[in-house]
A and B are shown apart, each in its own frame.
Chain A
Amino acid sequence: MTSAAIVVEDIHKSYGDLHAVDGVSFTVGHGEFFGILGPNGAGKTTALEIVEGLREPDRGSVRLLDENPFPRNVSLLPRIGVQLQASAFFEKLTAREQLETFASLYGIGAARAREMLDLVGLTDKADTREDKLSGGQRQRLSIACALVHDPDVVFLDEPTAALDPQARRNLWDVLRAIQARGKTIVYTTHYLDEAEILCDRVAIMDRGRILALDTPAALVRGLDAPARITLDRGALTTADAAALPGADEVSEDDQALTFVTRTPAPLLTALAERGVLDGLQVRTATLEDVFLQLTGREYRA
């Protein structure tokens, strides 16, 4: 086993004039949780499908678990699990039957299907036909189908899209548990906050290219963006506020007084000493700011 689970080198894929993937390279280590972030049409799915071996790149190379995923590599397939962006199910089968069928494709017995239903919280929907499930339930079933054979590398294309906040958090737990067992996870998402919480490293993609790739913390740090501290309006006059230590900028609107600061610690101390903490909010830079800075556009999830 070498150090990396996935090595992608300069892959390109065009559809006519459109460069869906335009020179993408990255490496994912064993046991790593790797996120690909980006707006609609960024090329996330295309890149992921090239890595999975579903599409052939026009140029560039992919090594997945030290093998070539394309053309169809049967020895590799049992070791990877894929949840496609559009869920793929057999017609007219129940949730349990879908899982049992997928399990049997890998030579795995029916008991595992029950376990998986439990894992994604669909036990009470076991006998419901796939077309009668809600969008989020289908999504969870689709994830369960990707995990049913306990693969070493899991690819999930927007697994948390269409999930309610509760299901989303439950899925985070499932994904963390899988990672804790030493599995490698590659996933795409539109949720910057989620990527920040889950991923060891994220690649930010736009228009077929990777704009930045690092740990979420390093990306945010690299921004060198100031923190914003807000208080209820009227807690201090703007003149008093501007005199406080570390207050680089002060502004006021109808509701709030906002400080922009690069040294939040002394400023917060000063505010605490004066006892003016009503409505206090501290917002440090997030991936959203990173995205804004990289693309010059506001992120629309």
Chain B
Amino acid sequence: MKGAFKSLSIAMAKGYVRDKTTLFFAFVFPLMFLVIFGLLFRDVGSEKIKLGAFGDGQVITVLEQTGIVDVQHFDTLDAGVAKVRDGDLPGLVEATGDKVVLRFAASDQSQAGTVQGLVSGVTQQLNVQASGQPPKYDFSAQQVEDTSLKPIQYLTPGILSWGIAITAVFGAALIMVSWRRKQVLRRLRLSPVGAGTVLGSRLAVTISVAVLQAVIFIAVAMLPVFGLTLSGTWWLAIPVFLMGVLAFFSIGMLVGAFAKTEEAATGMANIVVMPMAFLSGTFFPIDLAPKWLQAVSKVFPLRHMNDGITDFLVRGKGAEALLLPCGVLLGFTVVISVIAAKVFRWEDS
């Protein structure tokens, strides 16, 4: 029944494209998260320390030249002190003539420490220069490239996996429920096509949508504003991606078999996807979570999809790293599909 498969796929694709809501959730919604988080975390780690200043002493000029502090000048001492007291600034440097006074708020210990170290360091440096002696100890700083990822590098696989999970779960679940309620399933049951053809064509549509989503999503993430860079083995992420689509499609089928109404299906799908999204590193790296939570998150397919895609898309791991995520996702798909097939209903009794 090749003709039936093709025309059912086309019918479903048309239904999909003509539905503004599903289009929004598939293409715009995940992108919104990428844009928001991408811009929000773009400057993480490169934030400057703020410091108030009163007077025109040399210390203040040097502090400004370091480029790591954002110096804010005040006309009166009281105005500056008030800002510190309110917690708007971690400290205020008063530098008039030879006198350098730092006033700091004790509420934020680490900020206060940073500010004190900074100001005293600059002051000592100036003292050494003023003495005309060469410094006895030579100090220089060098940056070491760290292995942790820039935010966009983990946000992209995370939000992408999540977006795909939503599309696959909701797409499969809602179509099942709506077709059952509108008697389309009964009508199909009366035609000579098999349930496999019906499911297969739906899966074909879901995979096509997911591929399109991924292409658009990654293209946007690679824009200079966000700055995603792909690793050399990015294409190894494709099998993980496809296995992920299968796993979430089967979850959607299961939800669709149980839910009686579209509302119930939406609710159930949310209950399944939301906790996964939070605990699988969609919005923050899972390495930041407590150890036990990291262990718990390993039961979620989204975690493995996310990890797998991150490994290839941005970390550049080799093919041997395919085994774990693909194996887990495939196992998940098989188990859930068998259950979904068992509880499948053509109509509400």
Contacts and interface: CB of A to CB of B under 8 A. Distances in A.
B190 A100 contact: no
Chain A contact surface mostly: loop
A292 interface: no
B195 to A, nearest CB: 9
B189 interface: yes
A107 B193 CA distance: 10
Contacts of B190: 52-54, 77, 80, 82
Interface string B1-19: 1011011101110110011
Contacts of A161: none
Interface string B149-160: 000000000000
Interface residues of A, number: 27
Contacts of B10: 101
Given A100-B7, A101-B8, A101-B11, A88 B191 contact: no
A88 B183 contact: yes
A52 B8 CA distance: 23
Given A54-B186, A86-B183, A90-B184, A105 B14 contact: no
Contacts of A84: 183, 186-187
Nearest to A84: B183
Interface residues of B, number: 27
A95 to B, nearest CB: 13
Interface in B179-219: 182-184, 186-194
A100 B1 CA distance: 15
A93 interface: yes
Contacts of A54: 186, 189-190, 347
A26 interface: no
A80 B244 CA distance: 40
Interface in A35-92: 52-54, 72, 74, 77-78, 80, 82, 84, 86-92
Contacts of A53: 190
Interface of A: 52-54, 72, 74, 77-78, 80, 82, 84, 86-93, 97, 100-102, 104-107, 145
Nearest first, the 8 closest Cβ-Cβ pairs linking A and B are: A104-B7, A88-B183, A88-B187, A105-B191, A92-B18, A91-B15, A101-B11, A77-B192
Given A91-B15, A101-B10, 5 more contacts: A54-B190, A88-B183, A88-B186, A93-B15, A107-B1
